Each structure stands twice: as C-alpha cells, then as structure tokens.
Amino acid sequence: MAVPKRKHSNSRTGKRRSHDAKKPPHIAYCEKCSAAVTPHTVCPNCGYYMGRKVTEVEA
C-alpha cells in the first residue's frame, strides 16, 4: 500500500481547497418577461424555456 513519504504543508492543502468554497448561484434573465431565473430552467413567471411555451402558469 502506498504511503506518503512527507506530510503535505498547510499551504499546499489550502491551495488545493481554494476552489471548494461555495459560489453564488448564476442568474440569467427570461427572454419573454425579463424575470431573473437560474440557467436551464423554465421561467416560473411566464412558463417559457428557450423561447417556447413549456408550462401553463396560473395567474
């Protein structure tokens, strides 16, 4: 079984973990109603996705 010969420094560990932090969600805007939505989801305001009516929205 392979065993590390030396301990990894705290700096090296921190550099590896620097990309693991939480990032804010990306926001896109609906082409029809300009509501803020997450990418690749149906707009909850108007029911459109990629310029097509996908769902009916209750008023």
Give the pLDDT score at 57. Answer: 85
pLDDT, tens digit only, all 59 positions of the chain: 899 999 999 999 999 999 999 999 999 999 999 999 999 999 999 999 998 999 998 87
Predicted local distance difference test score (pLDDT) of residue 46: 93
CA distances from 51 to 12, 33, 46 (A): 47, 11, 11
Give the pLDDT score at 59: 73
What integer pLDDT is reported at residue 47 of this predicted model?
Answer: 93
